Amino acid sequence: MAVRLKETPEDFFVKEVKNLKLKEKGRYAYLLLRKRNLNTLDALNELSRSSGVPLKRFGFLGLKDKKAVTEQYLSVEEPTQEELERLLDASREDMQLELVGFGDEPLKLGEFEGNYFRIKVKGVGRRERKVFARMRELVKNYGCENYFGEQRFGSVKHAKEFVVKHLIRGDYEAALKEYLTSLKDKRLRRTLLKRWGDWESFLRVMPAGSKPERELVKALKRGLSFKEAFNVLPKNVRLMFVFAYQSYLWNAVLYAFVVRYLPHCTVPFLNWELAFFNRMSPRVWEEIKDLEIPFLGFKEKPQNLKVELVLKEVLEREGVTPELARLERGGIKLFTDGKRKAFFRPGNLSWEEKGSEVTLSFVLPPGSYATVLVRKLFCADVVT
């Protein structure tokens, strides 16, 4: 069973929660960006192009969904009056800018209080309504598993393998082939695979809007090796491969923990599953509410023996060793250690039910995913 999200951008509204320290004057101008059906990086590229302000002078707190209506803050370093006017004049139907004020600090990724969501969930049947009536109280009292959501897995959504696994083997050709041909359109995928190596022909049939990917193929056409061409990709794209695989590993550990130690329901998620506890006692919650799960556990050791056990099993199954964790490819480390909270509690959770639709409102901490919370509330897959 599945519920539906984002049938229109207006079905999914997101607004950053940030307490800006405003002044009449300051080194940085703070702007509120309202956008519709546009991702954050595309909006920034357009603002930079139309205003002449280099991208490196922009700061932002987080990436926001494309198929949504969103409000987020931007900082611009030392803008002239003329640059500010050009930025404000860059507003259009799907993107509006408003000057909020000035301050002394740039806006940096993750440095905000959270995100406010108002989401319309459609296709809610009798079974989902019954589950929702129980799970909403469970979530209010005990929270939700802090899985990474589908936005983290854009590079593998239609892929057969993680790009990082090819990079581990040093097979740059396989890594680039996986990335450039993993498309939803299977017919186009087959066409691209047939034309692999004939770069002029490959360029003619590949998607027109993929600028970094086209630059990569042009580099191959000029005679660069696969390894050299990999480095043509912007660093944020190369890091995306790393984040996708590490997010998969982390999700796998939390999934194994929930399945092994808690009563649960399971829900389809991309090529895998997510597991959510569907019953909880105050005693057990007291034991696990502050649980943190390391990404690797080589430097950040698990503080919980059950987590240590499932983490060891997942890493062994995937063949991830301390030696592997030190690998670098294309100027980036393939693995980083750290830790992440296993559970989060949404703030101000409220809802309105109308027929087969439920409108949800809540606040999530930075790094937590609304689509994950919706899956838990209905114990159902999400179609977007």
CA angle 301, 307, 308 (to 5 degrees): 50
The structure tokens listed for 258 are 């929930």
End-to-end Cα spacing for the chain? 14
**Shortest CA distance to 155 belongs to which of 147, 167, 145, 164?**
164
**Shortest CA distance to 201 belongs to which of 182, 220, 228?**
220
CATH 3.30.70.3160 fits 19-112, yes or no: yes
Q: Are 115 and 123 in contact (CB under 8 A)?
A: no
Residue 299 pLDDT:
85
Please tell me the pTM assigned to this model.
0.91
Residue 149: CB atoms within 10 A of its CB come to 22
In whole angstroms, what is the distance from residue 209 CA to residue 335 CA? 30
| Low-confidence residues of the chain: pLDDT under 50 | none
Listing DSSP states for 251-297 in one string gives HHHHHHHHHHHS-EEEEEETTEEEEEE----HHHHHHHTT-EEESSS
Residue 155 pLDDT:
57
Q: Where in the chain is the domain with CATH 3.30.70.3160?
A: 19-112
Give pLDDT tens digits for 131-142: 999 999 999 999
Indicate if the alpha-carbon torsion angle 117, 376, 273, 382 is positive or negative: negative
Residue 331 pLDDT:
84
Q: Are 291 and 343 in contact (CB under 8 A)?
A: yes
Provide the annotated active-site residues. Answer: 65
**Shortest CA distance to 144 belongs to which of 378, 382, 351, 342?**
342
Contacts of 173 (CB under 8 A, 6+ apart): 226
Residue 271 pLDDT:
87
